[in-house]
Structure 1
Amino acid sequence: MITTTMGTARAEELIAALPARAWCRLSAGAGAHGPREYWWARVPVRICWQPGRGHWLLARRSITTGQIAYYVCYGPRRTRLVDLARIAGTRWAIEECFQQAKNEAGLDEYQVRDWRAWYAHITLAVAAHAWLSVARSLATKGDPTPTTA
Protein backbone atom coordinates (compact mmCIF):
# COMPACT_ATOMS: atom_id res chain seq x y z
CA MET A 1 0.00 0.00 0.00
CA ILE A 2 1.24 3.45 -0.93
CA THR A 3 0.21 6.62 0.90
CA THR A 4 -1.04 9.39 -1.35
CA THR A 5 -2.75 12.73 -0.80
CA MET A 6 -6.06 10.88 -0.96
CA GLY A 7 -5.23 8.11 1.52
CA THR A 8 -3.74 4.73 0.64
CA ALA A 9 -3.87 2.79 -2.61
CA ARG A 10 -2.22 -0.21 -4.20
CA ALA A 11 0.65 0.48 -6.59
CA GLU A 12 -1.21 -1.26 -9.43
CA GLU A 13 -4.22 1.02 -8.95
CA LEU A 14 -2.17 4.22 -8.96
CA ILE A 15 -0.32 3.26 -12.13
CA ALA A 16 -3.45 1.95 -13.89
CA ALA A 17 -5.11 5.35 -13.31
CA LEU A 18 -2.39 7.17 -15.27
CA PRO A 19 -3.24 8.47 -18.74
CA ALA A 20 -1.32 7.00 -21.69
CA ARG A 21 0.63 10.24 -22.13
CA ALA A 22 2.21 9.75 -18.66
CA TRP A 23 4.36 6.92 -20.04
CA CYS A 24 7.71 7.73 -21.66
CA ARG A 25 10.00 5.36 -23.51
CA LEU A 26 13.43 5.75 -21.90
CA SER A 27 16.66 3.81 -21.59
CA ALA A 28 17.66 2.40 -18.21
CA GLY A 29 21.27 2.30 -19.38
CA ALA A 30 23.46 0.33 -21.73
CA GLY A 31 23.04 -3.42 -21.89
CA ALA A 32 24.93 -6.23 -23.60
CA HIS A 33 22.78 -5.80 -26.72
CA GLY A 34 22.35 -2.01 -26.70
CA PRO A 35 20.16 0.34 -24.66
CA ARG A 36 17.75 -1.29 -22.20
CA GLU A 37 14.56 0.55 -23.13
CA TYR A 38 11.29 0.41 -21.20
CA TRP A 39 8.16 2.48 -20.75
CA TRP A 40 8.42 4.55 -17.54
CA ALA A 41 5.87 6.52 -15.52
CA ARG A 42 5.74 8.01 -12.04
CA VAL A 43 3.18 9.17 -9.50
CA PRO A 44 3.96 11.45 -6.55
CA VAL A 45 3.22 9.68 -3.26
CA ARG A 46 3.42 10.45 0.45
CA ILE A 47 1.64 13.51 1.69
CA CYS A 48 4.40 14.74 4.01
CA TRP A 49 7.12 15.86 1.62
CA GLN A 50 10.03 17.63 3.23
CA PRO A 51 10.88 21.03 1.72
CA GLY A 52 12.67 20.42 -1.57
CA ARG A 53 12.35 16.60 -1.33
CA GLY A 54 9.79 14.15 -2.70
CA HIS A 55 8.62 10.55 -2.98
CA TRP A 56 7.38 8.85 -6.15
CA LEU A 57 6.04 5.51 -7.21
CA LEU A 58 8.06 4.70 -10.33
CA ALA A 59 6.77 2.09 -12.78
CA ARG A 60 8.81 0.31 -15.46
CA ARG A 61 6.79 -1.51 -18.14
CA SER A 62 8.45 -3.97 -20.50
CA ILE A 63 8.10 -3.04 -24.16
CA THR A 64 7.82 -6.69 -25.23
CA THR A 65 5.78 -8.33 -22.45
CA GLY A 66 4.00 -5.42 -20.78
CA GLN A 67 5.08 -6.69 -17.36
CA ILE A 68 5.35 -3.86 -14.81
CA ALA A 69 7.93 -3.48 -12.04
CA TYR A 70 7.59 -0.88 -9.30
CA TYR A 71 10.05 1.25 -7.34
CA VAL A 72 9.49 3.69 -4.49
CA CYS A 73 11.86 6.63 -4.99
CA TYR A 74 12.98 9.52 -2.83
CA GLY A 75 15.02 12.52 -3.86
CA PRO A 76 15.07 16.18 -4.76
CA ARG A 77 11.61 17.43 -5.66
CA ARG A 78 12.76 18.53 -9.12
CA THR A 79 14.05 15.08 -10.08
CA ARG A 80 13.07 14.28 -13.67
CA LEU A 81 11.58 10.99 -14.84
CA VAL A 82 14.64 10.34 -17.02
CA ASP A 83 16.87 10.63 -13.93
CA LEU A 84 14.72 8.21 -11.91
CA ALA A 85 14.83 5.70 -14.80
CA ARG A 86 18.62 6.00 -15.12
CA ILE A 87 19.13 5.53 -11.38
CA ALA A 88 16.75 2.56 -11.28
CA GLY A 89 18.78 1.07 -14.14
CA THR A 90 21.94 1.05 -12.01
CA ARG A 91 20.42 -1.79 -10.00
CA TRP A 92 21.61 -4.27 -12.66
CA ALA A 93 25.25 -3.20 -12.31
CA ILE A 94 25.05 -3.50 -8.52
CA GLU A 95 23.45 -6.95 -8.68
CA GLU A 96 26.05 -8.09 -11.20
CA CYS A 97 28.84 -6.87 -8.92
CA PHE A 98 27.39 -8.76 -5.94
CA GLN A 99 27.01 -11.93 -8.03
CA GLN A 100 30.64 -11.70 -9.15
CA ALA A 101 31.75 -11.15 -5.53
CA LYS A 102 29.82 -14.28 -4.55
CA ASN A 103 31.41 -16.34 -7.32
CA GLU A 104 34.97 -15.02 -7.07
CA ALA A 105 35.53 -13.77 -3.51
CA GLY A 106 33.29 -15.92 -1.31
CA LEU A 107 30.85 -13.17 -0.42
CA ASP A 108 28.07 -15.71 0.16
CA GLU A 109 30.11 -18.26 2.12
CA TYR A 110 29.49 -17.17 5.67
CA GLN A 111 27.09 -18.11 8.43
CA VAL A 112 26.01 -15.03 10.33
CA ARG A 113 26.73 -15.37 14.04
CA ASP A 114 27.39 -11.81 15.09
CA TRP A 115 27.46 -8.37 13.53
CA ARG A 116 31.20 -7.64 13.76
CA ALA A 117 32.24 -10.94 12.19
CA TRP A 118 29.67 -10.58 9.41
CA TYR A 119 30.76 -7.00 8.74
CA ALA A 120 34.44 -8.00 8.60
CA HIS A 121 33.66 -10.86 6.19
CA ILE A 122 31.58 -8.66 3.88
CA THR A 123 34.21 -5.91 3.91
CA LEU A 124 37.06 -8.29 3.08
CA ALA A 125 35.09 -10.11 0.36
CA VAL A 126 34.13 -6.85 -1.34
CA ALA A 127 37.71 -5.52 -1.07
CA ALA A 128 39.02 -8.79 -2.55
CA HIS A 129 36.54 -8.53 -5.40
CA ALA A 130 37.61 -4.94 -6.09
CA TRP A 131 41.27 -5.99 -6.17
CA LEU A 132 40.51 -8.88 -8.51
CA SER A 133 38.56 -6.57 -10.83
CA VAL A 134 41.42 -4.07 -11.02
CA ALA A 135 43.98 -6.84 -11.52
CA ARG A 136 41.88 -8.34 -14.33
CA SER A 137 41.45 -4.93 -15.95
CA LEU A 138 45.19 -4.21 -15.84
CA ALA A 139 46.02 -7.68 -17.16
CA THR A 140 43.82 -7.18 -20.21
CA LYS A 141 45.62 -3.88 -20.89
CA GLY A 142 49.02 -5.57 -20.66
CA ASP A 143 49.99 -3.79 -17.44
CA PRO A 144 51.61 -5.73 -14.62
CA THR A 145 49.45 -7.02 -11.78
CA PRO A 146 48.97 -4.38 -9.06
CA THR A 147 51.11 -4.83 -5.99
CA THR A 148 50.49 -3.84 -2.41
CA ALA A 149 52.13 -0.67 -1.20
Structure 2
Amino acid sequence: MSPDVVQRLLRTADWNADAVRDQLRGHVLGRLHPSAVRIVDETECIKKSAGWAGEARQHTGSTSETDKCQIGVFLLACAGAARALMDRELYLPRAWTDDRDRAAGMALWSALATRPTLVRRMPTRALTAGVPARWRAADAVQGCAKRLRV
Protein backbone atom coordinates (compact mmCIF):
# COMPACT_ATOMS: atom_id res chain seq x y z
CA MET A 1 0.00 0.00 0.00
CA SER A 2 1.45 3.37 -0.97
CA PRO A 3 1.82 6.28 1.48
CA ASP A 4 -0.67 8.27 -0.63
CA VAL A 5 -3.35 5.63 -0.08
CA VAL A 6 -2.76 5.61 3.68
CA GLN A 7 -2.77 9.42 3.88
CA ARG A 8 -6.00 9.60 1.87
CA LEU A 9 -7.60 7.06 4.21
CA LEU A 10 -6.55 9.01 7.30
CA ARG A 11 -7.70 12.30 5.77
CA THR A 12 -11.11 11.19 4.48
CA ALA A 13 -12.27 8.31 6.68
CA ASP A 14 -14.72 8.93 9.51
CA TRP A 15 -12.97 7.47 12.55
CA ASN A 16 -12.53 8.10 16.25
CA ALA A 17 -8.88 8.70 17.16
CA ASP A 18 -9.43 7.81 20.83
CA ALA A 19 -11.08 4.51 19.91
CA VAL A 20 -8.14 3.70 17.62
CA ARG A 21 -5.74 4.59 20.46
CA ASP A 22 -7.62 2.30 22.85
CA GLN A 23 -7.67 -0.56 20.36
CA LEU A 24 -3.94 -0.19 19.67
CA ARG A 25 -3.21 -0.05 23.40
CA GLY A 26 -5.24 -3.23 23.92
CA HIS A 27 -3.30 -4.96 21.14
CA VAL A 28 0.04 -3.89 22.62
CA LEU A 29 -1.01 -4.69 26.19
CA GLY A 30 -1.31 -8.39 25.40
CA ARG A 31 2.29 -8.42 24.20
CA LEU A 32 3.89 -6.00 26.65
CA HIS A 33 6.42 -7.29 29.17
CA PRO A 34 5.46 -6.52 32.80
CA SER A 35 8.77 -4.70 33.31
CA ALA A 36 7.97 -2.15 30.60
CA VAL A 37 8.95 1.45 31.25
CA ARG A 38 6.43 4.19 30.47
CA ILE A 39 8.09 7.20 28.87
CA VAL A 40 6.51 10.62 28.41
CA ASP A 41 8.00 12.82 25.72
CA GLU A 42 7.12 16.19 24.27
CA THR A 43 7.83 16.70 20.58
CA GLU A 44 7.49 19.69 18.28
CA CYS A 45 6.58 19.51 14.61
CA ILE A 46 7.84 22.67 12.92
CA LYS A 47 5.35 23.95 10.32
CA LYS A 48 6.10 26.22 7.39
CA SER A 49 2.47 26.59 6.27
CA ALA A 50 -0.60 27.77 8.18
CA GLY A 51 -3.79 25.98 9.09
CA TRP A 52 -2.55 23.09 11.25
CA ALA A 53 -4.52 22.42 14.44
CA GLY A 54 -2.62 23.86 17.39
CA GLU A 55 0.14 25.49 15.35
CA ALA A 56 1.48 28.75 16.75
CA ARG A 57 4.76 30.54 17.29
CA GLN A 58 6.17 28.87 20.39
CA HIS A 59 9.48 27.78 21.88
CA THR A 60 10.84 24.55 20.45
CA GLY A 61 13.30 22.46 22.38
CA SER A 62 14.77 20.94 19.23
CA THR A 63 15.94 24.30 17.85
CA SER A 64 15.95 26.32 21.12
CA GLU A 65 14.15 29.05 19.17
CA THR A 66 10.62 30.31 18.69
CA ASP A 67 9.12 28.76 15.57
CA LYS A 68 5.70 28.10 14.12
CA CYS A 69 4.99 24.55 15.26
CA GLN A 70 2.62 22.03 16.78
CA ILE A 71 3.51 20.44 20.11
CA GLY A 72 2.42 16.94 20.99
CA VAL A 73 3.00 14.93 24.14
CA PHE A 74 3.33 11.18 23.82
CA LEU A 75 3.30 8.15 26.11
CA LEU A 76 5.44 5.21 25.03
CA ALA A 77 5.99 1.79 26.55
CA CYS A 78 9.46 0.28 26.24
CA ALA A 79 10.69 -3.17 27.26
CA GLY A 80 14.02 -4.35 25.90
CA ALA A 81 14.08 -3.68 22.17
CA ALA A 82 10.26 -3.41 21.99
CA ARG A 83 8.65 0.03 21.83
CA ALA A 84 5.02 1.00 21.41
CA LEU A 85 3.04 4.23 21.26
CA MET A 86 0.40 4.07 23.99
CA ASP A 87 -1.16 7.54 23.95
CA ARG A 88 -0.90 11.06 22.54
CA GLU A 89 -2.23 14.55 23.16
CA LEU A 90 -2.04 17.69 21.03
CA TYR A 91 -1.19 20.83 22.98
CA LEU A 92 -3.34 23.80 22.00
CA PRO A 93 -1.58 27.08 22.92
CA ARG A 94 -3.52 30.10 24.16
CA ALA A 95 -2.84 31.99 20.91
CA TRP A 96 -4.74 29.24 19.15
CA THR A 97 -7.59 28.61 21.61
CA ASP A 98 -8.38 32.30 22.16
CA ASP A 99 -9.59 32.44 18.54
CA ARG A 100 -13.07 30.87 18.82
CA ASP A 101 -13.46 30.34 15.07
CA ARG A 102 -10.10 28.65 14.83
CA ALA A 103 -10.73 26.37 17.82
CA ALA A 104 -14.25 25.37 16.71
CA GLY A 105 -14.78 21.64 16.87
CA MET A 106 -12.02 21.02 19.41
CA ALA A 107 -13.00 19.44 22.69
CA LEU A 108 -13.20 21.97 25.53
CA TRP A 109 -10.96 19.85 27.78
CA SER A 110 -8.12 19.98 25.27
CA ALA A 111 -8.50 23.73 24.76
CA LEU A 112 -7.97 24.43 28.46
CA ALA A 113 -5.08 22.07 29.22
CA THR A 114 -1.45 22.91 29.91
CA ARG A 115 1.23 20.49 28.74
CA PRO A 116 1.79 19.06 32.25
CA THR A 117 -1.97 18.50 32.53
CA LEU A 118 -1.97 16.63 29.22
CA VAL A 119 1.00 14.57 30.42
CA ARG A 120 -0.78 13.61 33.67
CA ARG A 121 -3.86 12.39 31.78
CA MET A 122 -2.00 9.79 29.72
CA PRO A 123 -0.53 7.63 32.53
CA THR A 124 -3.89 7.80 34.29
CA ARG A 125 -5.61 6.41 31.19
CA ALA A 126 -2.88 3.77 30.85
CA LEU A 127 -3.31 2.65 34.47
CA THR A 128 -7.08 2.49 34.04
CA ALA A 129 -6.56 0.30 30.95
CA GLY A 130 -4.28 -2.04 32.92
CA VAL A 131 -0.95 -1.08 31.34
CA PRO A 132 1.83 -2.34 33.64
CA ALA A 133 4.73 -0.05 34.45
CA ARG A 134 7.24 -0.41 37.23
CA TRP A 135 9.15 2.65 36.06
CA ARG A 136 8.28 6.00 34.53
CA ALA A 137 10.58 8.32 32.65
CA ALA A 138 10.16 11.72 31.03
CA ASP A 139 12.08 14.15 28.90
CA ALA A 140 13.86 17.11 30.49
CA VAL A 141 10.83 19.41 30.23
CA GLN A 142 8.24 17.08 31.76
CA GLY A 143 10.71 15.39 34.11
CA CYS A 144 11.21 18.70 35.93
CA ALA A 145 7.47 19.23 36.53
CA LYS A 146 7.01 18.71 40.30
CA ARG A 147 3.39 17.59 39.93
CA LEU A 148 4.48 14.68 37.77
CA ARG A 149 6.99 13.29 40.24
CA VAL A 150 6.06 10.66 42.81
TM-score, scaled relative to structure 2:
0.24
User: RCO higher in 1 or 2 (8 Å CA, sep ≥ 6)?
Assistant: 2
Larger % of helix: which? 1
Alignment TM-score, normalising by the size of structure 1: 0.24
